[in-house]
Amino acid sequence: MLLRPATPADADAIAAHRYPDGEDAAARPAYATWVREALVSGDYLGLLAEMDFEVVAGAGLVLLNWGPGRHDPSPIRARLVNVWTHEHHRRKGLARQLTGELLAQARARGIGTVSLAHTGMSRPLYESLGFRAYPQEMLLKLEAT
């Protein structure tokens, strides 16, 4: 198993990890364009696991210029995204390994806050890595005018 940094050439694969269901396939090109640019600018850190030259798992961090906060002086926060493992390679620790490496990279950059969205299946993994539920978060989707 080879772990390697994601490159702009991996943008289409990362978009497929983000939108794995066929019903979401139409969103892939726009996301691939965004992630390609974010990889170039350094606003996205991605790691991929390869076996026999095939990507079998991946994970990424979006770096956000959030500004220093009351409990975190670092102006940069990170959001863990696109944690995906091919169904034939699940339950082998790949998501844990990729996520752990990205968290180490965040610590090395002085980032003190990492957030994520999760599924019921992934929650135990993230809790075991120290993530805790944050009930104060809310979401508003603004419609274009």
Query: For residue range 29-83, what is the model confidence (pLDDT) as tens digits?
Result: 999 999 999 999 999 999 999 999 999 999 999 999 988 888 888 889 999 999 9
Q: What percent of the chain has pLDDT over 90?
A: 65
Minimum mean pLDDT among 8-17, 28-37, 127-136: which range?
127-136
DSSP letter string over the chain?
-EEEE--GGGHHHHHHHHS-SGGGGGGHHHHHHHHHHHHHHTSEEEEEEEETTEEEEEEEEEEEE----SS---SEEEEEEEEEE-GGGTTSSHHHHHHHHHHHHHHHTT---EEE---TTTHHHHHHTT----TT-----PPP-
What pTM was computed for the model?
Answer: 0.89
Q: Into how many domains does the chain fold? A: 1
Residue 19 is part of which domain span? 2-128
Residue 138 counted as domain residue: no
CATH of the domain at 72: 3.40.630.30
